[in-house]
């Protein structure tokens, strides 16, 4: 079923919308969540929550790219669950590694202007991604949106791990420069 | 807080903000669907592989009946969501050993041939043999086992009934349902969650197995509950009620929500035509024209989370002060798409559809509601 037809089902408040969404994107959303949580029961809960959030959001929202819209929801829910379940054991998992990597990108800007709003930061990130080459952008998003490991990205793209690491390092440094230039405090 | 913690916290903010990047970048870098280590959702049919589905169904008539019942269901007001709790495969496998052993022991005590006893648990047999042909082969023998076994003694899976059944099935029926997980642990594809789900018309555990901590852990009472209304039971899924309830009047909706809301005067040609709640969680009023064109909706919910449910990115976001309230406006094409704010113990949102609010109009609404 086409995305537009699925979205129409949501607007018609047809419960078939959930079923069709699950049929079409269930495995994908499962994958997105699993990359973060690595625990089947947690993933399942997040996937169900994703459907519920989508059901609550559509309407009024009419997603432009349903798959990415669902992935965003699933990622946010999964991150929150990760934080909740790992509160007592920080420092484990791919997410913790990603955070550690991203400390490279933390600008040295002082905080006199206050912490940037999430949306402001997202706007900067969008402009930053726009400025990257497609190769580097895909690697960056795979790593920090989908939280794939370096090895998984390398396998996925058919390149060496060292290349992926180098691309990520350069991207993080470039992001840091951009945040500092725009005096964004995070 | 030391420097490392501070840096990690700031890096976390970046990571979180990455979740709000433009959807085109998310799509551009989308990941391949994992085929290993990731459990496929129960409700996901492998639509891309009809042959695989047919093969699965041929090997497992019970699952075929269930799958058909699941996908063809047209029950109103039910959203199918799996609530199966994941249980580690090795625990399930251990539980299977205990249960199959108990099953054999009990039936041997009843002078039922052992071969029949094994056959009466087709999915379990399938799991142990790492094959999925047992149900069909065992179908006729199972009836004998079922009649012989005391209902409260042993969980006897009844394959013939299962195959014929288009109702009255149990979600993830305890030990046999876990056979799927054992299969997955042995490297079998995770294509179908329905594959080894089977009905049990007796309690899912023998007295002997009940003594086993492992078995008890493997059998989650939440997922073996039998719906008294067989027409509403899902195999491998649970029928979950549509969270929203619709009401004819505001008063009824308020009673359901458990809190009131100040409603502004309708704007333009839009009037409040729908009152809905997720009881104790969300109150929503939808403003539409008489011909059903939705203009906008207002939501109120306990807590301080964003109630709009709008995960879209908008080109512009700004905060406005409305009396004591700081509201966030998300703006597209010069009009407010979403307004969110909180006051007291509640959060609010206005989301627009056909109605285009200017910032001033949105602020007037926020004033009226807060």
Which of B7, B18, B77 is facing A15, going by the closest CB pair?
B77
Q: Is B84 on the interface with A (CB under 8 A)?
A: yes
Angle at A76 between CA A33 and CA A182, to 5 degrees: 125
Q: Pick the residue with more confidence: A111 or B4?
A: B4
Q: Is residue A83 within 8 Å of residue A36, measured between CB atoms?
A: no
Contact: B30, A71; criterion CB under 8 Å: yes
Q: 96-155 in A: which are within 8 Å (CB) of B?
A: 98-103, 105-106, 115, 117-122, 125-126, 129, 134, 137-142, 144-146, 148
Which residue from B minimizes the CA distance to A121? B17
Task: Name the pTM for this structure.
Answer: 0.41
Whether B168 and chain A come into contact, CB under 8 Å, resolves to no
Q: Give the model confidence (pLDDT) of B101-130 as tens digits.
A: 555 555 555 544 433 333 333 333 333 333
Q: Name which of B17, B81, B312 is nearest A121 (Cβ-Cβ).
A: B17
Is B23 in contact with A69 (Cβ distance < 8 A)? yes
DSSP track, B145-166:
HHHHS-TTT---B-HHHHHH-S
Query: Is the predicted pLDDT of residue A160 greater than 70, yes or no?
Result: yes
Which of B8, B25, B351 lies nearest to residue A99, judging by beta carbons?
B8
Interval B344-353 mean pLDDT: 90
Nearest C-alpha of chain A: how many angstroms from B235? 14
Banded pLDDT at A50 (limits 50, 70, 90)? very high
For residues B165-183, average pLDDT:
34
pLDDT at B269 over 60: yes
Within a 13 Å sphere around the CA of A109, how many CA atoms are in the beta-carbon half?
Answer: 22
pLDDT at B305 over 70: yes
- For the cut 90, the answer to whether the pLDDT of residue B339 exceeds it is yes
Check residue B105 and give its pLDDT.
54
Which residues in B lie closer than 8 A to residue A98 (C-beta atoms)? Answer: 15
Q: Give mean pLDDT, residues B211-222.
A: 36
> Which of 187-206 (B) contact A at CB < 8 A?
none
CB within 8 Å of chain A, chain B residues 26-55: 26-34, 37-41, 43-45, 47
Asked if the model's pLDDT at residue A4 lies above 80, the reply is: yes
The region of weakest confidence among B179-193, B333-347, B348-362 is B179-193
Distance between CA atoms of residues B170 and A181, nearest Å: 60
Please determine, for residue B72, whether its predicted confidence score (pLDDT) is greater than 80.
no
CA closest to B76 among chain A residues: A15
Task: Report pLDDT for A140.
Answer: 94
- State the average pLDDT for chain B: 59
Please report which residue ranges of chain B form alpha helices under DSSP H: 3-18, 23-28, 50-59, 61-71, 89-109, 114-119, 122-129, 134-148, 159-164, 174-177, 179-185, 207-210, 213-218, 250-257, 359-369
* Residues B184 and B39: beta-carbon distance below 8 Å: yes
- Residue B227 pLDDT > 70: no
Q: Is B310 close to A61, i.e. CB distance below 8 A?
A: yes
Task: Calculate the average pLDDT of chain A.
Answer: 85
Per-residue pLDDT, A171? 92
At A107 the pLDDT is 76
Report for A167-176, B119-128, B190-199: range of highest mean pLDDT:
A167-176
Nearest to B327 by CA among B277, B365, B354, B357: B365
pLDDT of res. B168: 32
CB contact under 8 A, A53 and B309: yes
Of the candidates B16, B22, B76, the beta carbon closest to that of A118 is on B16
Average pLDDT on A33-51 reads 87
How far is B125 from chain A, CA to nearest CA, in Å? 24
Chain B closest CA to A120's CA: distance in Å? 8
Q: What is the pLDDT of residues A69-87, one digit of tens each?
A: 999 999 988 888 887 777 6
ipTM of the prediction greater than 0.85, yes or no:
no
Selecting from A63, A103, A141 the residue whose C-beta is nearest the C-beta of B29 gives A141
pLDDT in tens, A102-147: 888 887 755 555 666 677 888 889 999 999 999 999 999 999 998 8
Q: What is the pLDDT of residue A131?
A: 92
CB A54 within 8 A of CB A7: no
Count of positions (residues) in chain B: 370
């Amino acid at each position: 079923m086409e995305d537009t037809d699925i979205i129409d089902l949501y607007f018609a408040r047809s419960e078939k919308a959930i079923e069709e969404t699950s049929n079409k994107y269930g495995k994908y959303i499962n994958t997105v969540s699993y990359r973060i949580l690595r625990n089947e029961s947690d993933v399942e809960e997040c996937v169900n929550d994703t459907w519920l959030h989508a059901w609550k959001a559509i309407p009024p929202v009419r997603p432009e790219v349903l798959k990415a819209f669902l992935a965003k929801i699933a990622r946010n829910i999964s991150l929150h669950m990760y934080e909740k379940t790992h509160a007592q054991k920080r420092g484990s998992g791919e997410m913790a590694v990603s955070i550690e990597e991203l400390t490279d990108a933390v600008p040295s800007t002082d905080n006199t202007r206050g912490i940037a709003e999430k949306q402001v930061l997202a706007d900067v990130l969008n402009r930053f991604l726009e400025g990257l080459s497609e190769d580097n952008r895909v690697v960056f998003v795979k790593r920090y949106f989908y939280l794939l490991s370096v090895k998984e990205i390398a396998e996925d793209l058919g390149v060496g791990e060292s290349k992926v690491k180098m691309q990520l390092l350069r991207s993080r440094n470039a992001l840091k420069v951009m945040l500092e230039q725009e005096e964004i405090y995070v | 807080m030391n420097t490392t913690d501070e840096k990690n916290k700031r890096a976390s903010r970046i990571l979180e903000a990455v979740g709000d990047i433009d959807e085109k970048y998310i799509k551009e870098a989308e990941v391949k669907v994992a085929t290993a280590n990731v459990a496929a959702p129960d409700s996901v049919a492998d639509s891309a592989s009809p042959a695989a589905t047919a093969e699965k169904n041929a090997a497992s008539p019970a699952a075929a009946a269930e799958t058909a019942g699941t996908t063809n269901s047209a029950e109103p007001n039910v959203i199918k969501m799996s609530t199966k709790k994941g249980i580690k495969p090795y625990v399930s496998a251990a539980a299977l050993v205990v249960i199959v052993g108990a099953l054999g022991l009990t039936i041997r005590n009843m002078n039922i041939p052992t071969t029949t006893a094994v056959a009466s648990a087709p999915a379990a047999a399938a799991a142990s043999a790492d094959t999925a042909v047992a149900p069909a082969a065992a179908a006729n023998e199972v009836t004998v086992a079922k009649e012989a076994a005391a209902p409260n003694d042993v969980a006897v899976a009844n394959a013939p009934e299962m195959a014929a059944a288009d109702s009255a099935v149990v979600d993830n029926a305890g030990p046999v349902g876990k056979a799927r997980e054992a299969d997955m642990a042995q490297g079998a594809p995770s294509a179908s969650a329905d594959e080894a789900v089977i009905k049990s018309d007796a309690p899912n555990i023998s007295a002997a197995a009940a003594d086993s901590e492992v078995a008890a852990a493997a059998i989650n009472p939440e997922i073996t509950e039998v719906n008294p209304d067989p027409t509403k039971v899902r195999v491998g899924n649970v029928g979950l009620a549509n969270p929203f309830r619709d009401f004819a009047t505001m008063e009824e909706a308020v009673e359901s929500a458990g809190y009131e809301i100040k409603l502004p005067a309708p704007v333009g040609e839009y009037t409040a035509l729908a009152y809905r709640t997720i009881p104790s969680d969300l109150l929503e009023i939808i403003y539409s024209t008489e011909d059903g064109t939705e203009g906008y909706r207002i939501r109120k919910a306990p807590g301080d989370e964003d109630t709009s449910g709008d995960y879209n990115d908008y080109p512009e976001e700004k905060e406005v002060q409305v009396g004591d309230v700081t509201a966030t406006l998300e703006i597209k094409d010069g009009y407010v798409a979403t307004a969110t704010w909180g006051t007291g113990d509640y959060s609010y949102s206005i989301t627009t559809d056909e109605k285009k609010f200017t910032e001033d109009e949105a602020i007037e609404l926020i004033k009226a509601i807060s």
